[in-house]
Homo-oligomer: A and B are copies of this chain.
Amino acid sequence: MERLVVVGGDAAGMSAASQARRLKGPAELEIVAFERSHFTSYSACGIPYWIGGGVPERDDLIARTPEEHRARGIDLRMRTEVVELDVAGHRVRSRDLESGDETWTEYDRLVLATGARPVRPRMPGIDAAGVHGVQTLDDGQALLETLERTPGRRAVVVGAGYIGVEMAEALVDRDYEVTVLHRGEQPMATLDPDMGTLVHRAMNGMGIRTVAGAEVTAVRTDAEGRASAVVTADGRTYPADVVVLGIGVEPRTELARAAGLPLGDSGGLLTDLSMRVRGHADIWAGGDCVEVLDLVAGRTRHIPLGTHANKHGQVIGSGVGGGYATFPGVVGTAVSKVCDLEIARTGLREKDALAVGLRFVTATIVSTNTAGYYPGAAGMTVKMLAERRTGRLLGVQIVGGAGAAKRVDVAAVALTAGMTVEQVVALDLGYAPPFSPVWDPVLVAARKAASAVRSAGH
């Protein structure tokens, strides 16, 4: 009987294990999975809503418990960390985090799904009590304990990407006075600055203080060694009863690096289209520890996102189980919200397009989410990038009221299909007054972009 070893028990790892188990029963395939934390198969993306109180219980975020996985014939070793990968010997060394005991386990097939970790810049105080990342349920649990233990109501969030912005809102919901320190010109640097400024305004509107160009240099601690303030390069001090790190995550690939597996520029594992690690027929990798092919930019990038991790798991499990599936790549779609403002992007920003050598035009329009006369109509701003020579759609950013975020999916499909903005203008999108103006905002943006392409004259 063959043995599959899975390293990492969240979305990618356990989806892979489950899908492999669907295709091959326990008589054909033994499955051993290692997870260092206390939890399996949970929604890390849901943590801000649990912290904010909208999602009442931690366990609401758990799709499948260790017991449920075990009931499906997966030998799951919780609180057990894989500390060495011996590729030549086809084995992994694991350590029981409670007892410290170490064991070697051989594999026929291996899945690496080690995830990502929040970036923790090296600086004084960064490891103090009261400084929290929010990448895992364990992280979320620790943060909640700090919030419950600490009477003060001042929170500093470092970073204004998706996690930073969502955590800022969560902390406002918990009646914190929130300051967000971010390095860029505008929060939400996953958008171009002209679109980020709309997010900036919404954050300020809900009472969040934002500080642009802030370079954090230290976390100051009190007599008990707990975080008490954040210090920036310009010498300013921001008092903090709790500090949340939202400056992004990096792939957790030390194990792979030490074993000589191929890593990309962002430190993520490199795989082929079937999610096999390049050059290794019996090792697959997926989720937040890999780089994915950006179909628009034509290169691999590190895009940690639960939806990709789940797809990876499905593809890996199919491959391991003797089926066939591929993950062709992504176009860089991401959606988020702050208060009632929905935020979305797909494809390339201006700086992404410049970085890969594309010449482009841009078009920005303001419209509404429903017919303008429909009760509760809210504004929507759409920015579109198109290749200057060909009119090919390159990217879309949307900020606006209800229905703004998921409208980006239209652009995601059009990008995948390689459509020109002229083709986008002609798309047959759903229209009725409660859902859209008679010209959908995405079509209005495409019309303006197509006109810009024609005017540009190559």
Contact = CB atoms under 8 A, between A and B. Distances in A.
Which of A308, A425, A426: most chain B Cβ within 10 A?
Answer: A426
One complex includes copies of this chain to the number of 2
Interface in A312-337: 326-337
A305 B431 contact: yes
Given A335-B430, A430-B346, A435 B405 contact: yes
Given A55-B373, A409-B409, A335 B432 contact: yes
A262 interface: no
Contact of A45 (B11, B432, B440): B432
Given A373-B60, A413-B414, A419-B417, A333 B430 contact: yes
B428 A346 contact: yes
A11 B429 CA distance: 17
A311 interface: yes
A39 interface: no
Contacts of A379: none
A427 interface: yes
A435 to B, nearest CB: 5
B371 A432 contact: no
Nearest to A11: B438
Nearest to A447: B314
A410 interface: yes
Contact of A332 (B43, B333, B428, B433): B428
A373 B61 contact: yes
A327 B430 CA distance: 16
Interface in A34-78: 43, 45-46, 49, 54-55, 60-61
Contacts of A307: 429, 431, 436, 438-440
Contacts of A374: 46, 49, 54-55
B439 A412 contact: no
Contact of A43 (B373, B417, B434): B373
A325 to B, nearest CB: 8
A331 B428 contact: yes
B438 A412 contact: no
Nearest to A408: B430
Interface in A360-393: 371, 373-375
Interface in A260-299: none
A266 B311 CA distance: 45
Nearest to A49: B433
Contacts of A373: 43, 46, 49, 55, 60-61
Contact of A410 (B371, B402, B410, B432): B410
A403 interface: yes
Which of A49, A54, A430: most chain B Cβ within 10 A?
Answer: A430
B427 A406 contact: no
A400 to B, nearest CB: 13
Nearest to A450: B325
Given A54-B374, A55-B373, A373-B43, A306 B409 contact: no
Interface in A10-50: 11, 43, 45-46, 49
Interface string A434-457: 111011100000000000000000
B428 A330 contact: yes
B46 A433 contact: yes
Interface of A: 11, 43, 45-46, 49, 54-55, 60-61, 162, 305-308, 310-311, 326-337, 342, 344, 346, 371, 373-375, 402-403, 405-410, 412-414, 416-417, 419, 423, 425-436, 438-440
19 contacts: A45-B371, A45-B432, A45-B433, A49-B374, A162-B432, A305-B431, A307-B436, A308-B428, A311-B425, A328-B426, A333-B429, A406-B436, A412-B427, A413-B414, A413-B419, A414-B417, A416-B427, A417-B417, A417-B419
7 interchain residue pairs of minimum CB distance:
A335-B430, A417-B417, A307-B431, A413-B413, A60-B373, A330-B428, A333-B428
